[in-house]
Amino acid sequence: MPRIRRGGVAALALVGLLALVPALTTATAADAGATTLGGADPSVIKVNGLYVSAKSVDGGIAVRTASTLAGIATAAKHQVWKDTGGLGEVWAPEIVYYDGRYRIYFSAGTSAAHRMYHISSTSADSGYSAATKVALPNDKWAIDGAPFTFAGQRWFVWSGWSGDTNVEQNLYIAKMSSPTTTTGARYIISQPREAWERVVGNPYINEGPEPILDPNGQLHIVYSANGSWSSKYCLADLRLRAGGDPTYVWDWYKSNGCLFGSYAPDMMSGWDTTLYVDGPGHNTFVLERGDIATSPPSGNRFPMMYHAVAKGTPYSWSNRYWYIGSAVWWGNVTYRRANVPGATSDTGFGLKFFE
Tell how far CA 6 is from the center of its chain. Answer: 14
Report residue 70: phi and psi, to 5°: -65, -30
Least Cα distance to 156 among 124, 141, 138, 178 occurs for 178
Kind of pairing between the strands at 43-47 and 50-57: antiparallel
Cα angle 198, 201, 202; round to 5: 150
How confident is the model at residue 300, as a pLDDT? 84
Separation between Cα atoms, residue 82 and residue 88, nearest integer Å: 11
pLDDT at position 297: 82
For the chain, counts of helices (H) and of strands (E): 0, 22
Cis peptide before 314 (omega within 30 of 0): no
pTM of the model: 0.90
What pLDDT is attached to residue 7? 33
Helix, strand, or coil here: 292? helix
What structural domains and CATH numbers belong to the chain? 2-354 (2.115.10.20)
pLDDT tens sequence across 89-142: 999 999 999 999 999 999 999 999 999 999 999 999 999 999 999 999 999 999
- pLDDT value at residue 80: 98
Can you give the pLDDT at residue 296? 86
Q: Which residues of the chain have pLDDT under 50?
A: 1-35
Whole-number pLDDT of residue 248: 97
**pLDDT score recorded for residue 112:** 96
pLDDT in tens, 26-45: 333 333 223 468 999 999 99
pLDDT value for 340: 77
